[in-house]
Every structure is written in structure tokens, then in C-alpha cells.
Amino acid sequence: MKILYIGDIMAEPGISIVSEVLPGLKREQEIDFVVAQSENVSNGKGMAVADMKRLQLLGVDFFTGGNHTTEIEELNSLLQNPDSPVIGPANMPNCPGQGWKYHIVSGQKICVVSIMGSKVGKEIEMTNPLQRIDQILPQIDDDTFATIVNFHGDYSSEKRIFGYYLDGKVTAVVGDHWHVSTSDAMILPNGTAHITDVGMCGSLHSSLGVTLDSVIPRWKDGVVNKNELATKRPYQFNAVIIDVADDGVVNSIEQIQKIVD
């Protein structure tokens, strides 16, 4: 089974590059299951149901979340619905739903779990992610073929530790939230696929999908301003493909990075 995990889809440019890349990539790589980080889909904060449906039509099967997931209230009922393919972080206070769900792919049960780092920016204090995943793992059904854990966090050290902590316990741990991909995709010693950060989908020449003109004054002069979404091309697409054998053993994890003018 081939599982594609797409990094943070940053607003309309992110949706656009997914529409250009994903259909062909699914055909060429014979992808069975597509997961995408959804917390920035709609204008950079949250995911509207209409945008979720657009991405589903493009071939996204399941959506993970982050600190912005609850900012669009209409998504909350879907987060609570066990049959809806979208989750928020299992350790984020007041996030609806339990933070993990199942999806059936070619008769096989896949579990997807969303966990946030202990601190994301200055906004929210999280329940300890290691303690929370310890509570979740025993509850996952025994007949689960693969367990994919998304770790949405700031600190590279924490993201790597989380991967090694789960090595041999889950199929893959995929980090995101930085919007900058790391070149460390690997199979860990006990068989778990891991990457510290998969990257983002959106405007290439930007600061994490935000215009340089709005960010540089903050660093140079201490200006307090709002993010201005970057919309100019070229666009970037970042993802990983996790290839899982019929016996559940991970064969490989491969980074996919595409730039489209």
C-alpha cells in the first residue's frame, strides 16, 4: 500500500498546486490513500467545509489538523463525527473529537492520529504529547493494518524525539507545521517511517506562505502587523510517500518536492 502525506496546504495557492500535481501523482505512483494537513487551507486559518469538499474531489482522502483547526466553527461537527475523514490534535484542549479515526482502504483499516507539539508558538499550552500518545495507542483496534501519526510542532528536537519514541509502535510519524521541509526522511531502526517536517504547499518565494513584505519589517524594525498571504508563483508542493508491504512492514519513505511556475 502506498500512502501519500501532503504538507500544510496554505490557502488558495496551496489548493491550486494540489489541483495541478495530485491527480497525476496519484496515477503515476499508484497511490492508495492520501492524507493532507488541513489547518491552513482556508485563508491560512482553518478549513471551511466547501474547501474540504474541493480537496476531496481532487483526491484527498483524509485531513489532519493543528492549532488553527477549530477557527472555522462549521468544521466542529465533522471533527466529532467518527465517519468524517478529518481530525484535530488529540492533545489540544477544547478541540472537538478524539484526535484519531479510522479509514478503510482496499479492505484494510488505517488509523490516523493527530498530535500537537507541547508548545506551538505562544498560543496554546498542550497536554503532554508523549503522555497522550501513550493513552491512545492501547485503544487502537488490533486489526489495524497501518497507523499514521501526524506530529504538528515547532521544535525539531521534540519532533525527532517523538518519532524515535514511537519507533516500532506505529507505521509512520510525519511532522509538519514549519512549512519548511527537512531532508531527513528515513526508516528508523525499529521500522517506523519518519520525517521531521514534510513542508508546505503554496507560494515558493514567501515566508511560510506569507509575503516577504509583511514579514521583513517585523524582523528589521519590530513592526506589529498582520500576515499577508503570498499568492505569487512559482508554487511548491511537498509530500512524502510511505510504501507499506502487505505484512505491514514499511518498505520506504520518499520525499516528493515539486515546483510549478
Q: Which amino acid, residue 144?
A: T
Residue 89 preceded by cis peptide, ω within 30: no
Distance CA 153, CA 243 (A): 24
All cell numbers assigned to 36: 493532507
* Cell 491550486, residue located: 16
pLDDT at 122: 59
CATH of domain 2-260: 3.60.21.10
pLDDT at 121: 59
Cα angle for residues 166, 135, 249 (degrees, 5° grid): 35
pLDDT in tens, the chain (261 residues): 999 999 999 999 999 999 999 999 999 999 999 999 999 999 999 999 999 999 999 999 999 999 999 999 999 999 999 999 999 999 998 899 999 999 999 999 999 999 999 877 556 778 999 999 999 999 999 999 999 999 999 999 999 999 999 999 999 999 999 999 999 999 999 999 999 999 999 999 999 999 999 999 899 998 889 889 999 999 999 999 999 999 999 999 999 999 999
Distance CA 65, CA 63 (A): 7
All cell numbers assigned to 245: 508491504
| Residue 199: φ, ψ to 5° | 100, -160
Task: Kindly report the pTM of this predicted structure.
Answer: 0.97
* Cell 490534535, residue located: 89
Sort strands 62-64 and 100-105 into parallel, antiparallel or unpaired: unpaired
